[in-house]
Amino acid sequence: MTFMKTFFAFLIFAFALQSCSTTNVMHDYDKTVNFEKYNTYHLFDIDEPVLSNQDKEIIISQLNDTLQSYGLKEKLIPKFEIIVIPEFYQVLKNSPSVNVGFGGASGNFGYGASVPISGQTKDKFSLTIEFVDALTKSLFWQAVVEVPTSKLLSDRKENPIVYAQMISDALKKYPGFYPALLEE
C-alpha cells in the first residue's frame, strides 16, 4: 500500500512539473563585432498591433531602464538601433500514437498499424529584441524569449514582472555587458 501511495504521489508530481512551462531564450550574435563601440542606442516604438499600448509602454520603459543600468545612453543619433517584435503563436505539442504490430516466423506473416492521437496546441508569446548597427543597418545581436501565453493572460497585473524577466533573460547573454561570453 505504501508503494501505491508513493507511486501516485510521484505521478502527480511528474504531471505538475510537466505542466509548468519555463521561459525559453535563444541568442545569436556576430562574433566579429566589437561590442565596446556600441554605447549609445535608439529604441524604436513597437508597431505590432498584438499588444495593448500599455503593454508596449511597459516593455519600452523596462528595456530603457535595463540598458541604462548597464551604462548605455539613449541618443537621437546612436551607434545602434533596437527593434522589438512581439508575437503570439501556437505550437503543436508532441502527440503520442498507438502502434500495433504482429509477427510471424517462417510462415512469413506480418502486420503493422499506427494510429496517431490528435495533437494539442500550446499558446506562446515571444519577444524578439534585435540590435542593428545604425550606420550599416546590419544585425549584430538578437535574442528571442518565449513564454507560455498563460503567464501574460492569467493576471494582467503581473505583466510588468513577466516583461521585466523576459528582458532580463534576453540581455543576460549580451556580449557587450559580459565580455567573457565572447571567449566561450
Residue 179 confidence (pLDDT):
64
Residue 9: inside a domain:
no
What pLDDT is stored for residue 42 in this prediction?
Answer: 97
Confidence at residue 149, expressed as pLDDT on a 0 to 100 scale = 87
Instruction: Take residue 136 and report the three cell numbers written for it.
Output: 550599416
Full residue range of the structural domain in which residue 29 is found: 22-179
Q: Is 8 within a domain? A: no
Asked whether residue 117 is domain-assigned, the answer is yes
Whether 58 is covered by a domain: the verdict is yes
Domain count, the chain: 1
Give domain status of residue 111, yes or no.
yes
Q: Is there a domain that residue 83 lies in? A: yes
Burial of 149 (0-12, 13-18, 19+ CB in 10 A): middle
Burial of 42: CB neighbours in 10 Å, binned 0-12, 13-18, 19+: middle
| Gap between the Cα atoms of 111 and 98, Å rounded | 14
pLDDT of residue 118: 62
13 domain-assigned:
no
- What is the model's pTM? 0.73
Residue 102 belongs to a domain: yes
Instruction: Please give the Cα distance from 59 to 80 (Å, whole number).
Output: 18
Intervals of the chain under pLDDT 70: 1-21, 93-119, 179-184
CATH of the domain at 152: 3.30.160.670
